[in-house]
Structure 1
Amino acid sequence: MTTAVVRALGALAHDAAHPPTGAEAPCTCPAPTVLADRADGTVVRSGPVVAKAHAPDTDATALAARLALAASPALTGILLPPVPRPAGPAAPASTVHGRSVTLWPHGEPVDPADPDAAPWEEAAVLLARLHRTAPPTPPRAVRRAFPAMRGPAKAALAVARMCRARPGDPATAPVHEAWRRLPAWARDEDVAPPHRSRFLCHGDLHLGQLVRHPAPHGPWLLIDVDDLGLGDPAWDLARPAAWYAAGLLPPEVWLRFLDAYRAAGGPAVRADGDPWPDLDVPARALTVQTAALAFAKSAAEGRTPDEVEQMMIDACARIASLPHELAAEHSS
């Protein structure tokens, strides 16, 4: 990310945090802080406001629909709403160097140094509430229905990134085979089954997508609308399910998460009994996505996959070794 973009984001966040009052007192705020800087987004904080530059290929119309959804009263207490934009000449820029920009309240993120305090149950309840919310009618200004949840699209992008990073590498064969065994809708090549595609979904659930607002002790809320949309709610449970299946998430943590989701009436899985008929395809897709990104990132850094990355790659090998009839059992 260029210094110019970071500087522009810092200025936008600062201006939003300090609306003009006519006073000329000098500002004593700390310098803006870069919270994230990745290809899919750069995030800069100034005081209570965060400015995000979205990926260069972001569909601005779809983003507008997602912002409208995040601001909807129907999702109060579930999604962090964006900072309202003033109208007229005082309105902040909506793009920076050709990239869509959004403004958000700052929230207190999950502490990665305290895994025992990770809010798995709170995340499960928020997901259940999101999935149970009927999609509101988009405002007229949006001029389109809410877009599809981008989970399958992100999985396909991860596999494509792996292919570019490691062309012809035989070590990636299990990932390719596990990917090939997924149904077309999970590879973003077809629409999801109708009975599983009409729910509001986050699209990229992990613990980095939760903050406390107001910081630092407010309730937990979901953040990041880039993948928000209509789809299969099981996709939002797929990452913890995949981690559990690969041995990365302790069974007791997974069961707490699953039980909290069910207790809150979440529709992604049946109310009792075995959840895997509902979770199998999305969990396999997230396993492939994670393994593909592991290969891509390790190639970019000139190293072999680390221990955690290798566990997800090994999980793909187990998926690829299943008899075809078992791999396809829950694919519809």
Structure 2
Amino acid sequence: MTTAVVRALGALAHEAAHARSGPRGGCPAPAVLADRADGTVVRCGSVVAKAHAAGTDIAALSVRLGLAADPGLAGILLAPLPVPPGAGPEVTAAVSPFLTELHGRPVTLWPYGEPVDPGDPDDAPWEEAAVLLARLHRAGSRADRPAPGGSPVPPPMRGPAKAALAVARMRAARPGDPATAPVLAAWRGLPPWARDEAPAPEHRAQGLCHGDLHLGQLVRHPTPHGAWLLIDVDDAGPGDPAWDLARPAAWYAAGLLPPEVWFRFLGAYRAAGGPAVGADGDPWAELDPAARALTVQTAALALAKSAAERRVPDEVEQVMIDACARIAALPPELAAEHSS
């Protein structure tokens, strides 16, 4: 459905595309790539305009955009585009060179990149993602220099906060529902820092993290055969680099990611010098708290979405809910062993 935000994003992307390439005829019509509560994304030619979620912390997002634009992270993060001057009557004065507002929502501009093809899982860039993460984590692995190039220090990585929001969303969607019991039990077994109830221990707050790593966060730029880059810095910041490995780790532990894919991913990360885990040996002492938290987050969102859509969880969603039940059944001493 066309909305005022979508129309305004299309107009802004159109202006930005012309600012990059000069006036040309035959511009493609703006296309909606995503329209969700957490972000509306519209493409016009070589430019993508994104309206971030209402209520986004503008100051924090501005710093994170500066991080993405930092030359020291070129080749790792896709850099934002500057907001063109005189972009139109609906555009509020720019908040920063890379951030403006439309209809009360923060808006950013990005070069279009070719996303991962969901129809070709065998060609998914797991190794490339691992190398990018290792480079990102290494760039901010010192507590006194969490970002290269003199960029301002961004706020902490939002991974634990997003997990807590997922659990809150589940509780709101299914108040008192016994189906939530294994998810809540697994949640209670996590250390406070993984539930966003306390700062992370110092040894788990030393890396520069993406904060929401999945294959949808990679694009090829320039299209169609450029290098893979990480996108979406809304959750980036200092934190536990193991969090960025936690989603594939959780999928592997739940049986959703084939072992050979997981070991390719982990091996590429280690070979690139990633600091989240040791160079060899069992990585689970470092990965376990974050992997359990991502399992809970995924299961909580599955229960919230299925309730909103008035359906039972599908097969994949049920796998993650069942994984929470197994986590909750762990002996307390075993769960505590990997929680610090």
User: Please, what TM-score do these two structures have when normalized by structure 2?
Assistant: 0.92
* Letter matched to residue 136 of structure 1: P
Q: How does 1:91-170 map to 2 (within 5 A)?
A: 93=92, 94-134=100-140, 135-136=147-148, 145-170=153-178
Q: Deviations over 1:216-263 (max 9, x none)?
A: 100000000110111000000000000000000000000000000000
Structure 1 residues 20, 120: CA separation in 2 closer, same or farther (over 3 Å shift)? closer
Match for residue 306 of structure 1? 314
SS at match of 2:229: strand
Secondary structure of the residue that 1:211 maps to in structure 2? strand
- Post-superposition shift, 1:19? 2.1
2:303 counterpart letter in structure 1 = F
Distance in structure 2 (CA, Å) of the matches to 1:297 and 1:20: 40
Normalized against structure 1, the TM-score is what?
0.94
Q: Using the TM superposition, give the Cα deviation of residue 31 of structure 1 relative to its aligned residue in structure 2, in angstroms.
A: 1.1
- Alpha-carbon distance in structure 2 between the residues aligned to 1:21 and 1:250: 44
Match in the other structure for 2:275: 267
Moved more, 89-98 or 61-70: 89-98
The whole-number CA distance in structure 2 between the counterparts of 1:20 and 1:119 is: 29
Residue number in structure 1 paired with 2:17: 17
SS at match of 2:50: strand
Aligned length: 325
**Partner SS, residue 238 of structure 2:** strand
How many angstroms does 1:2 deviate by? 6.4
Answer whether contact 2:205 2:238 (CA < 8 A) is retained.
yes
Residue 242 (str. 1) matches residue 240 (str. 2):
no
- Tell me which moved more, 99-108 or 190-199: 190-199
Aligned counterpart, 2:181: 173
- Given the superposition, is the C-alpha separation of residues 289 and 22 from structure 1 closer, same or farther in structure 2, using an over 3 Å criterion? closer
Alignment check: 8 A CA contact 1:49 1:103 kept: yes
Q: Secondary structure at the match of 1:153?
A: helix
Match of 2:326 in 1: 318
Q: Aligned equivalents of 1:39 and 1:279: distance in 2? A: 30
RMSD: 1.7
Aligned partner of 1:46 in structure 2 is 44
- Report the 3-state secondary structure (helix = DSSP H, G, I; strand = E; otherwise coil) of the residue aligned with 2:148: coil
> Quick one: distance in 1 between partners of 2:215 and 2:287?
19
Q: How is 1:81-100 mapped onto 2 (pairs within 5 angstroms)?
A: 81-86=79-84, 89=86, 93=92, 94-100=100-106
Q: After superposition, what is the alpha-carbon deviation per residue over 1:118-154, rounded to whole angstroms, capped at 9, x for unaligned?
A: 0000000000000000313655xxxx63111000000
- Counterpart amino acid of residue 73 in structure 2: L
Q: Which residue in the other structure is 1:5 paired with?
A: 5
Q: Distance in 2 between matches of 1:97 and 1:194?
A: 40
**In structure 2, what is the Cα distance between the partners aligned to 1:95 and 1:237?**
33
CA drift of 1:20 comes to 9.2
Asked if the contact 2:73–2:148 (Cα under 8 Å) also holds between the matched residues in 1, the reply is no
Q: Distance in 2 between matches of 1:218 and 1:145?
A: 29
| Equivalent in the alignment of 2:223 | 215
Establish whether residue 282 from structure 1 lines up as the match of residue 290 from structure 2: yes
Q: Partner of 2:337: helix, strand, or coil?
A: coil
Q: Which residue of 2 aligns with 1:185?
A: 193
Q: Which consecutive unaligned segments of at least 5 residues does structure 1 have?
A: none
CA distance in 1 between counterparts of 2:101 and 2:21 reads 25
> What is the CA–CA distance in structure 2 between the aligned matches of 1:313 and 1:209, rounded to whole Å?
24
Q: Taking structure 1 as reference, are residues 5 and 320 closer, same or farther at Cα in structure 2, changes over 3 Å only?
A: same
**Percent of aligned pairs sharing the same letter:** 77
Structure 2, unmatched stretches of 5+, are 93-99, 141-146
Q: Which deviations, in whole Å up to 9, do the C-alpha atoms of 1:269-292 show, x marking residues without a partner?
A: 011000000000000000000000
Determine the C-alpha separation between the residues in 2 that align with 1:160 and 1:234.
23
Q: Provide the secondary structure at the position in 2 that maps to 1:18.
A: helix
Confirm or deny: 8 A CA contact 1:65 1:138 kept in the other structure. no
Summarize the Cα distance change of 1:153–1:21 in structure 2 as closer, same or farther, 3 Å threshold.
Answer: closer
In the TM superposition, what whole-angstrom CA distance separates every residue of 1:67-95 from its partner, at most 9, and x where no partner exists? 00000011000000001334x65696410
Deviation of 1:328 (Å): 1.1
CA distance in 2, matches of 1:69, 1:145: 9
CA deviations 1:150-191 (Å, max 9, x no partner) are 000000000000000000000110000000000000000111
Partner SS state of residue 82, structure 2:
coil
